[in-house]
Amino acid sequence: MSYKLVVGLGNPGSEYAETRHNMGFMLLEKFLNGHRPERWEKVHICNSYCYVGSFAGTKLILQLPQTFMNNSGTAVAKLMRQEKIEPSEVIVAYDDMDLEPGRLRIRRNGASGGHHGIDSIIAELGGNGNFTRLRLGIGHGRETIDHVLSKFSESEKATVDATLATGCKALEMLLRCGVAKAMNEYNSWSYQTPDEVTDKAKETEKDQ
């Protein structure tokens, strides 16, 4: 079954832009900008900004709920009912503290892992967690709320950019090839600095 809806989770408002909790928003915005944004129709429906277009010959909706993170499920479930979309036809992209920065993970379904946005979606779907997740690592901070609502530092920019770029490739593979192939390709990915790449190349040369 093909995917019909991709949801990016985050908080609305300029004060939350570029914060760790908005990685889902950031991913969808980058994905859209890389796929001829002028061909997507922007609409404000179901308490969300939605971009309606097509990908790989299939109609696709990109949804950015404007309900704040903890109530994301209200907007997502409303849109799913309106468009007659099943949970198995949905991908949700969001930040994950259980993954280190520079990592991402694709998962078929399951529990929320403590993420309040995912909690809200599952609750609004009557306990149905049968949707695909694209989790983007942000790591842990001393205080959870302060950490997720903080902006990335300049030193983290390269890691964030690489994670979003790879996340877009993972999303493309999910849409084109399905969850099994995308998991196999990207669940082991981790960002490496230029120095780490150089050191690894040197180690490989020594082993040969």
Question: Rounded to 5 degrees, what angle do the CA atoms 8, 84, 86 make?
Answer: 65
Structure tokens at 84: 């007659």
Question: Rounded to 5 degrees, what angle do the CA atoms 10, 11, 14 make?
Answer: 120
Cα–Cα distance, 35 to 126 (Å, whole number): 34
Q: Within a 13 Å sphere around the CA of 182, how many CA atoms are in the beta-carbon half?
A: 24
Environment class of 155 (CB within 10 Å of its CB; exposed 0-12, middle 13-18, buried 19+): exposed
What phi and psi values does residue 97 have, to the nearest 5 degrees?
-75, -20
Cα–Cα distance, 205 to 208 (Å, whole number): 5
The label of the residue with tokens 């979309």 reads: 85
From 21, 44, 140, 147, active-site residue:
21
**21 has catalytic annotation:** yes
Catalytic residues: 21
